[in-house]
Structure 1
Amino acid sequence: MGSSYAQVCLRCRSLLCSIPAASTWKCSTQVRHCTTVSSTASKILDGSSVFTGNHRTTQTRQRWKQQMFYYSDLSAKHLATEAKEDKFTEELSRTDVVAYRSPLSPIRDAVPVNENQISLDLDSVAEFSALEEISDEEAISISVPAVMPPASTSLRDYVDKSETLSKLVQLGVNLWKLEQRPNVGSMLLRLDFNTDVAPRLLFLKGIGVEDSRFGYIITHNPFILTESLENLQTRVNYLKSKKFSSENVASMVSRAPYLLNFSVKRLDNRLGFYQQQLKISASNTRNIVARLPRLLCGSLEPVKENLKVCEIDLGFKENEIQSIVIAVPKVLTANKRKLTQIFDLLHNTMKVPHHLITKFPQVLNTKYLRVRERHLFLEYLGKAQYDTTLPNYISLDRLVSLPDETFCTELASATLEDFYMFQKTF
């Protein structure tokens, strides 16, 4: 029996020396098998030596063990060498494909592959060429995943990839204006439409803002999309507590997009400032702010300066300033140069006294060239009469408010062509 085992081991040795590296796993399997057989044989030989006392059999068994250790060590060294290689190779035989894995992991049975099947698969892959024409239906069915550009100087490159930007465009938001403001573009890209934008839009709609005003509000104040709903509701509640109606609040927010970005303390200070500076009632203060809500958002310095101009430079009294501001709140935010220029035309050129300007304060909010052209045309015709105590009196209100055709027929008693011809003379 020992000689038969030795023959098996010699066969394993010859296999180890003759087969290529690609078939090492077969050899290692046989070596393991031989090792298992040797261990069984050793037990049998041990048993025979105990019961028979055959010393020759014991020596044969020891030589057999030495040979097994030698061949097992050789196989282990060869497997360790194979484990150090980084690249695993594949060897295709004519009838089967041997898939290699790490020598330290168990090797499973190879999967037989038919050559005809391989050729058919390669032919099917070759049928789809990048240069092959496809139908319109197939082209439409192709879906390309949207990829955000890593960097861009314009938000238009992100509109097709960002749900937030695409829906803001549908609402009428001017992205080209927002991208010119620092950090606004990156802020919008970080917003989620469902969790960040939609709740604010629903809030605005809930307080009465028209859908058509959403685009205007976000274009001028994109930061309203980052304000908490609690703060927005608190500021609306404050305005209502000051007896602003729901319609007034909705109109104010629509025309002054930054209104709800200011704290309650700031809004209260602004209302108190106008009431104290103008020395008017709370009702008149609400009336002024409701008609010109940007008074609560802008700087107070231009307002203070215009009040001083009206009092010191233009010579209006306190009660006259109150009447002018209540009638035309825009006087508080008008350009100082324009305000001085049109007053000089009315008072010094047209000889209109202060009390008439106070009675028709809208002339201070009219274009300077419009008033000058009409006055010169009336003066040319000899009809420039603005004193209420004299005949053929012309009201300042009608002078600046009537359209050109009506002005010519009713006030100047001339044709529109005459007026246009006169405009060309200067």
Structure 2
Amino acid sequence: MGSLGVQLCHRCCFLRVRTLLTAFQRDRTLRSRSLRVSLARAQGGLLSVNPHRAVRLERWRGDHLSVLSSRRASPQPADETAVAASPGSHLLPYENCHLEDTVRSDPTPERPLVELDAVPPPSPFEEITDEDASQISVDPGLSPVSVSLRDYVNQSETLRRLVLLGVDLSKLERRPNVGNMLLRLDFEKDVQERLLFLRDVGVEEMHLGPVLTINPFILTENMKNLQARVSYLRLKRFSADAIARMVSKAPHLLNFSVERLDNRLSFFQKQLELNVQKTQDLVTRFPRLLCGKLDPVKENLKVCEMDLGFRKNEVQHMVTRVPKLLTTNKKKLTGIFDYVHNTMGIPHSLIVRFPQVLNARLLRIRERHLFLKHLGRDQFDLAEPNYVSLDQLVSLPDHLFCATIALASLEDFDVFQKTL
């Protein structure tokens, strides 16, 4: 019976120790899982964890918890002896030895490296020597406010090159928003391509400056639109010389759409009853007709027919010879006709033959007519001797007028002008 009691006692102790070991292993598994989750979160965040170090840390954490749990659960020396004598007790000394090797191999935790390139910028309040200050180069910025573009020429490459081309900045700065537009342009990206386009069209280099002075908005116009408008003029059979002349004399036509140019050509062809060739000659000689307003043109046509008494075919002949008559001021046109026709006695037929007289200055016509009348040479009839051409009367300079028509000296003409 004694031996049976001893065996039952040993069996009860063995079951108790086995139950405790099973509970400790389950607790260690749960804590290991929580530790792995924490490490995974750290790896997905800003922290960087060494995977080998994480494994060693997990083993150390689980073994440490096992030792602490076994000590708390079995404080009696008899239980510790029973656990050592049990079949699973040989795991504890092995884990303890592994813990000591882990601690010896990695005594200190790893520290993150500091990036060497992350150097803080210098403080603006840091004092520097005079020598260092003299070596600092600062690009001069554009003046925020100015009443003249000349203040920006030294800082703006675009303005500097435009001046070299002959662009008159003094005229452009008077126009609203043009100065700001020029300062925003880049010469390589915006200006150079359009200058090459103008040269391809036929504009001479000496005319590039005046063209851009008259119409600086060419520099902001879309290149496809510019090419389309020139292609339209070529399609209408304008010669290369005619297109070059039109762009040089009236640069604003490059800002007109193809539809607007087509409407203008159709208007002059219908109003004046001209054929295609004469219409092309008209706008080539005076291309501003394509850019100006049409109301003055309509009004002058009515004035010539109704007020001045010219027939429609006579008006057609005069405007094809002198296209500027279509845009001349109404008051000026009627004043010149009144003096030439009513005071000088020139008939309609002679005015139609020399329509340049209607495009001259009234003061010049009056001074020269009165001087010829003073000399007795005011003869404008083709059938009479000493005939004076109306064209020469208004076109010749003063010294040639006195030498060839008045047959007097220039000093005499100057003295006579003072008497008027």
TM-score bracket, normalised by the shorter chain, equals: 0.5 to 0.7
Q: TM-score, normalised on structure 2?
A: 0.67
Identify the range of structure 1 (190-199 vs 345-354) with the bigger mean alpha-carbon deviation: 190-199
Cα deviation digits, residues 264-314 of structure 1 (max 9, x gap): 111011011111111111111111100111100010011111111111111
Alpha-carbon separation, structure 2, partners of 1:381 and 1:187: 59
Supply the distance in 1 between the matched residues of 2:176 and 2:142 (Cα, whole angstroms). Answer: 20
What TM-score do you get using the length of structure 1 for normalisation?
A: 0.66
Instruction: Give the whole-Å Cα distance in 2 for the aligned partners of 1:376 and 1:388.
Output: 19
Equivalent of residue 326 in structure 1, options 300, 320, 323: 320
CA RMSD for the aligned pairs? 2.9
Amino acid at match of 1:247: D
Q: Which residue among 259, 267, 270 is the counterpart of 2:264?
A: 270
Which of 128, 133, 158 is the aligned partner of 1:164? 158
Q: CA distance change for structure 1 residues 194 and 422 in 2, over 3 Å: closer, same or farther?
A: same
- Distance in 2, matches of 1:242 and 1:422, equals 53
| 1:187 and 2:195 aligned | no
Residues 425 and 151 of structure 1: is their aligned pair in 2 closer, same or farther, counting only changes over 3 Å?
Answer: closer
Structure-2 change in CA distance of 1:129 and 1:271 (3 Å): closer
Instruction: Name 2:36's counterpart in structure 1.
Output: none
Q: 1:410 to 1:174 in 2, by over 3 A?
A: closer
SS in 2 for 1:390: coil
Q: Compared with structure 1, are the counterparts of its residues 413 and 230 closer, same or farther at alpha carbon in structure 2 (3 Å cutoff)? A: same
Which segment drifts farther, 306-315 or 186-195? 186-195
Q: Distance in 2 between matches of 1:313 and 1:334?
A: 15
AA aligned opposite 1:185: G
Give the corresponding residue for 2:275: 281
User: Which of 220, 232, 238 lines up with 1:238 in the alignment?
Assistant: 232
Q: Quick check: 1:221 aligned with 2:215? A: yes
Counterpart mapping for 1:220-369 below 5 A: 220-369=214-363
CA offsets, 1:22-61, max 9 Å, x none? xxxxxxxxxxxxxxxxxxxxx9xx99xx9xx9xxxxxxxx
Name the counterpart of 1:146.
Answer: 140
CA apart distance, 1:155: 2.6
Residues 362-386 of structure 1: per-residue CA shift (max 9 Å, x gap): 1111111111111101111222111
CA distance in 2, matches of 1:198, 1:129: 40
Measured in 1, the distance between the counterparts of 2:359 and 2:228 equals: 35
Aligned partners of 1:178, 1:418: CA distance in 2, in Å?
44
CA change 1:198–1:129 in 2 (3 A) is: closer
Distance 1:187 1:129, change over 3 A: closer
Q: Structure 2: how far apart are the matches of 1:385 and 1:208?
A: 46
**Unaligned 5+ residue runs, structure 2?**
1-63, 76-110, 115-126
Show structure 1 runs of 5+ residues with no match. Answer: 1-42, 54-103, 108-121, 131-138
- Larger Rg belongs to: 2
Correspondence list, 1:73-152, <5 A: 128=131, 143-152=137-146
Q: Which shows bigger deviation, 307-316 or 212-221? A: 212-221
Query: CA distance change for structure 1 residues 168 and 106 in 2, over 3 Å: closer, same or farther?
Result: same
**Seq. identity, %:** 59
Please give the alpha-carbon distance, in whole angstroms, between the structure 2 residues aligned to 1:283 and 1:307: 21
Q: How far apart, CA to CA, are the structure 2 residues paired with 1:326 and 1:382?
A: 34
SS in 1 for 2:419: coil
